[in-house]
Amino acid sequence: MAEQLRLMAVHAHPDDESSKGAATMARYVDEGVDVLVVSCTGGERGDVLNPKLQGDPEIERDLPERRRKEMAAAAAALGIRHHWLGFVDSGLPEGDPLPPLPEGCFAVQPLEVASAPLVRLVREFRPHVMTTYNELGGYPHPDHIMTHKVSVEAFEAAGDPTRYLDSGEPWSPLKLYYDVGFSTARMMAFHEALLAMGKESPMGEWLERRNQADAPPERKITTQVNIVGWMDRRDAALRAHATQIDPDGWFFAIPNEVQAQTWPTDDFELARSLVDTELPEDDLFAGIRDRAKV
């Protein structure tokens, strides 16, 4: 009898899970995989980004609680389980020079302090696969960069019985992936698809920035999971984060039927693997399925 496969996706803030790999998670849920999303922070220092809700005093009065409810609705849309890691949002510093990060926030925690609850959770949930962000955070938000650090630390330390004592029985996840949802190739494909439809493209400015000399290098896409049939679930999760996502914004600029023809996959970079696998892959559990036996 096959053991149930388990996937853990580690994110910085509520709403990140819905914009990065969400359709893949919905697909795996439907295929019987146990999927757990971990939010490292509560998004406490975020703003109301949806222009339709800006200026509403009731929303702005208790935005953290509103975001918790939005996260619950997004989790229900995707069918996943969810866990708050319990750290406080660091905010996105602005200015020149940049101001210091707030005292006690997630990004200023010592690595072992920030990683300890995730190590414990990995040992409890026992994921076969973990997903998170690359060393640049996907984009340079301090919480995203810290999320990368704690995810790598948990992946490497959770199976070591000499580390994080009293944090549960050791468990070694088998694969770690970084999300590559915003590759230049994918954004260019969508940009050209919109222009071919006679529509304006919101990706033009983004692509110009990507072509600048100081832009970070492109990530290697090793794994592409077909998400045709699960894009609507992703969109429902995105819309659940009503304070963060404009329902008329660029996330929804391309009809899903066009996306299915233009770029029908969620994309990932295999960062660590303790199993043999042949690249490129079309499954995050490639090399694991035959091993997951009881």
**Model confidence pLDDT, tens digit, residues 139-191:** 889 999 999 999 999 999 999 999 999 999 999 999 999 999 999 999 999 99
For 170-174, the CB contacts below 8 A with 24+ separation are 170/123, 171/122, 171/123, 171/126, 172/274, 173/8, 173/122, 173/127, 173/128, 173/129, 173/130, 173/274, 174/128, 174/129, 174/273, 174/274, 174/275, 174/287, 174/288, 174/291
Q: Does the annotation list 241 as a binding residue?
A: no
pLDDT at site 240: 98
Q: Does the annotation list 141 as a binding residue?
A: no
Asked if residue 216 has pLDDT above 90, the reply is no
Asked if residue 293 has pLDDT above 80, the reply is no
Q: Does the annotation list 143 as a binding residue?
A: no
Identify the burial level of 143 via C-beta atoms within 10 angstroms of its C-beta, where 0-12 means exposed, 13-18 middle and 19 or more buried: buried
Residue 19 three-state SS = helix
User: What is the C-alpha to C-alpha distance for residues 206 and 188, in angstroms, rounded to an integer?
Assistant: 10
pLDDT at site 96: 84
**Mean pLDDT score, 188-215:** 89
Asked if residue 206 has pLDDT above 80, the reply is yes
What's the mean pLDDT when you consider all of the chain? 95
Closest CA to 110 of 154, 146, 67: 146
pLDDT at site 58: 87
How many degrees, rounded to 5, is the angle at CA 107 between CA 207 and CA 243?
60
Q: What digits encode the pLDDT tens for the residues 108-141?
A: 999 999 999 999 999 999 999 999 999 999 988 9
**Where are the domains positioned within the chain?**
6-182+219-256+263-273, 184-218
CATH class of 6-182+219-256+263-273: alpha beta
Asked if residue 73 has pLDDT above 80, the reply is yes
Beta strands 34-41 and 265-273: pairing type?
Answer: unpaired
Angle in degrees, 0-180, between the axes of helices 111-125 and 142-157, rounded to the nearest 10: 60
pLDDT at site 234: 98
* Local confidence band at 294 (pLDDT 50, 70, 90 cut-offs): very low
Asked if residue 292 has pLDDT above 70, the reply is no
Identify residue 84 by its one-letter amino acid code: W
**Mean pLDDT score, 12-27:** 98
Beta strands 129-132 and 81-87: pairing type?
Answer: unpaired
| Residues of the chain by 3-state class (helix, strand, coil), percent to 5 | 35, 15, 50
